[in-house]
Structure 1
């Protein structure tokens, strides 16, 4: 075999559990499991001799397959199942040969194997999602009252709390979990329909055999062929990309709040962690950068899913092969992003003092809306807005405090409305936000 390409990003930040699920061994094993289940179902139905079915089931293991030969012959055939079946048949005693893969087509085996493999992948993603979500829930709970500047268009807007900010991520993760559950259920569908989707080669027992194979493999049976109907696959792959995007939004937040001029959070510290080869002071947000790199890649790959859905007639002509490349990568990227995002969240350093300092960095302008609302009761919203707007312009020019300027320029009857407010007085109800997000996260379907 030729040397394998090194995938540095996933190699460094990927998930070992997902790597096992997507491995060559598990891929081949999934095909063998389908062949064994098919033989069992056909033996029970009397399509092949029951004793032959038992021998096929016992023999359908990785020990019967020579890997180098399988891939050498696959390169010639174009698909791996014919070479796989030939090796499996050769491993049988002579009296039991010729009954492996009876009535099946290559895509029946590969798609049913895909259903097995990506059901396991979805389960692993669910485990990783739970870990990341629990870490975010811990941050939301611990910092429900930690006041921070909320920012819109990258500029300070109004006060909020770090816990309420984290609750937004937790709500998104709860929705991601629901999407993943739906996609996992859809992808767990058996495919046994024969060469053109008619099931003709399976004979009169086609429906019974398909249902029994699904039962043996713990998949869902359907009587509608899906050799070229790849919406289930596209749904699963799209959810993988969505998961990485959620992780990237969190990672971007960490990077932005870690900026030297802001310094409100930081990734976990450690000797030479995030170090530069030339700038000794650097402690770069390396895990956040890796998550964003995985999400950028997953987003680009996901566009292929919709091209794959264009496959025509009763069999794809190239679109199917694209799945072989795209789906494993999307799964690995989603797993790596979730695992790394959890690591970021669990190790995150939060600096409330810096948050407080930054709230006071702009002449108190972060309280502009609060004062406008207070003045609006007396002046009306539009006049109050214009008054605060002009006061804010003056503060930026002179460095004066907003409240002091407003008390000076406000009409006499409205001065009392400019009461002294701290940022903590204008954060809404962060506990309601946090508690609602926690409730959604902890809900069990």
Structure 2
């Protein structure tokens, strides 16, 4: 094969175990596992001799295949299974040749091999999701009562707690994980249906053989051909993109809260970590940026999943090839995003003093809703809203505090409602959200 381009983003931030699962060696090995299982199942059904199946299974190992030759011949054929089977057949004693790949078509082997490979992919993504979720759960627990300005439309809104903010991410991750588990279950389905999906070449034992291959490979059996029904793959790819997007939402939060003017959190510190080549003061949120980059790429790639589903008749003509490029990249990007987001969460520095200081910014207007709700029983909601709105405008014009302005503006009969309120007195019910998120995470299965 020609030299492979270096992917800078995945090369720096990818997951090594995922890279191994998606490697050339494991790809070839997955096809050989299917060929071995097919021969074994066919022998048990009496389609081929038992000793022949044993010889095929013994030869169906990566050491049998010369990868350079495989890819050169694949470039000519267009698909790798014919060249693979030729090499496998050549490795057999003469009396056992011509029985490997009996009745199968190329896509049977590649799709079933994909199911084997992506079972491992799904397992690794689940592990990475669990590790990231555990790190978020730790943040939610540790900072359950650390008060921070909640922000809507990028502006301060009402007080909340940093733990409650983290609870939202934990709930999202729990849903992401559930989607991944479902997608993995569907993805790991055997595909042995022959050239046109009719199983004709497998003969009278087609169902028995297919079911046994599924058992041998720990896959789900199905009697419905899916050579061109690619919704399973689209669902799995979408689950990858959603996982990456959740990671990016967390990373974006870290980037935004790390801004110099806000400075409420920061990535882990270290010598030259996030340094600039020209601005010595910089400590950029480099891992969060990488997470966002991987998620942006995954989101863009995911659009191809729905084009892949357009495959027509009984076999795709180009859409299938798109899968070869898109699915492994989505898995690698999701793994990289999850692992890097976990590192950000585990090393995150949280600055409650800065959070407290920022709550007093903008004349303390983060408490405007609290005062409005306090005045509403006396003045009516709309009158209370308009009075606090007018007070807010005056605060911004004069720099006075909201409490001081309201003390001056509120009618005497409602004066008791404008006693000074603290942000921690108006955070709602963070413990409810946090406990619910933690419970859902503990019960994720």
Give the TM-score normalised by the residue count of structure 2.
Answer: 1.00
Tell me if 1:11 matches 2:15: no
Match of 1:177 in 2: 177
Q: SS state of the match for residue 413, structure 2?
A: helix
Shift of 1:420: 1.6
Q: 1:294 Cα deviation (Å)?
A: 0.3
**Paired residue for 1:150?**
150
1:362 partnered with 2:362: yes
Show the counterpart of 2:200.
200
- Give the corresponding residue for 2:318: 318
Note the C-alpha offset of 1:362. Answer: 1.2
Matches of 2:361 and 2:221 in 1, distance apart?
Answer: 62
Mapped partners of 2:61, 2:389: distance in 1: 74
Corresponding position of 2:403:
403
Q: How far apart are residue 17 of structure 1 and its match?
A: 0.6
Can you give the 5+ residue segments of structure 1 that lack an aligned partner in the other structure? Answer: none
C-alpha separation in 2, matches of 1:162 and 1:49: 66
Partner of 1:416: 416
Provide the C-alpha distance between the structure 2 equivalents of 1:239 and 1:177, rounded to a whole number of angstroms: 9
Separation (CA, whole Å) in 2 of partners of 1:269 and 1:263:
14
SS of residue paired to 2:192: coil
Alpha-carbon separation, structure 2, partners of 1:444 and 1:256: 30
Q: Any idea what the Cα deviations from partners look like across 1:380-399, whole Å, max 9, x if unmatched?
A: 00000000000000000000
Distance 2:217 2:80 in 1: 21
Distance 1:41 1:419 in 2: 80
The aligned runs of 1:13-412 (5 Å cut-off) are 13-412=13-412
| RMSD, aligned α-carbons | 0.5
TM-score calculated relative to the size of structure 1: 1.00
Please show how residues 419-434 of structure 1 align to structure 2 within 5 Å. 419-434=419-434
- 1:323-343 Cα offsets, whole Å, 9 max, x none, are 000000000000000000000
Q: Is the 8 A contact 2:112 2:189 kept in 1?
A: yes
Aligned partners of 2:63, 2:382: CA distance in 1, in Å? 79
C-alpha displacement of 1:444: 3.9
SS of structure 2 residue aligned to 1:364: helix
Q: For residues 174 and 2 of structure 1, what CA distance do their matches in structure 2 show?
A: 42
Answer whether contact 2:174 2:444 (CA < 8 A) is retained.
Answer: no
Cα distance in 2 for partners of 1:63, 1:136 equals: 43
Superposition deviation, residue 411 in structure 1: 1.0
Equivalents in 1 of 2:402, 2:67: separation in Å? Answer: 73
The separation in 2 between residues aligned to 1:122 and 1:331, in whole angstroms, is 9
The CA distance in 2 between the partners of 1:42 and 1:405, in whole Å, is 86
Q: Residues 178-215 of structure 1, C-alpha deviation per residue, up to 9 Å, x if partnerless?
A: 00010000001000000000000000000000000000
Cα pair 2:161 2:427 within 8 Å, conserved: yes
Q: Provide the rounded CA distance (Å) in 2 between the counterparts of 1:394 and 1:12.
A: 51
Matches of 1:434 and 1:49, distance apart in 2: 61
CA distance in 2, matches of 1:108, 1:78: 15
Q: CA deviation at 1:419?
A: 2.0
Q: Secondary structure at the match of 1:160?
A: strand
Runs of 4+ residues over 2 Å off in structure 1:
none
The SS at the match of 2:378 is: helix
Q: Give aligned pairs, total.
A: 445
**Contact 2:178/2:444 (CA < 8 Å) preserved in 1?**
no
- In 2, distance between residues paired with 1:444 and 1:290? 28
SS of 1:421 mapped into structure 2: coil
